[in-house]
Amino acid sequence: MHMRFLLIVGLMTLLNGCGVAAAPCRGVSLILKMIPVVGHAAALPTDACATAIDPGPL
């Protein structure tokens, strides 16, 4: 079961570029931004991580 999951994730990474690899960083960033007052500041490192992996559309 775990091997199938890893295979699917690997294929998605190859087919969809780096956007799939940056998804965990973006997800954590979204969660951190929900924290009042300090959320946006706390999310800066995860935003930088996601940008480094996948700079965005060309």
Instruction: Write out the residue range of the structural domain in which residue 29 sits.
Output: 2-53
Structure pTM? 0.62
Residue 11 domain flag: yes
Q: Can you give the pLDDT at residue 58?
A: 43
Is 14 contained in some domain? yes
In a domain, 58, yes or no: no
Residue 23 forms part of a structural domain: yes
Give me the number of domains the chain comprises: 1
Angle (nearest 5°) at CA 48 between 44 and 51: 135
Neighbours of 4 (CB within 10 A): 8
Question: pLDDT for 8-42, tens place per residue?
Answer: 776 666 556 677 778 788 888 889 999 999 999 99
Query: Alpha-carbon distance 31 to 56, whole Å?
Result: 20
- 28 occurs within a structural domain: yes
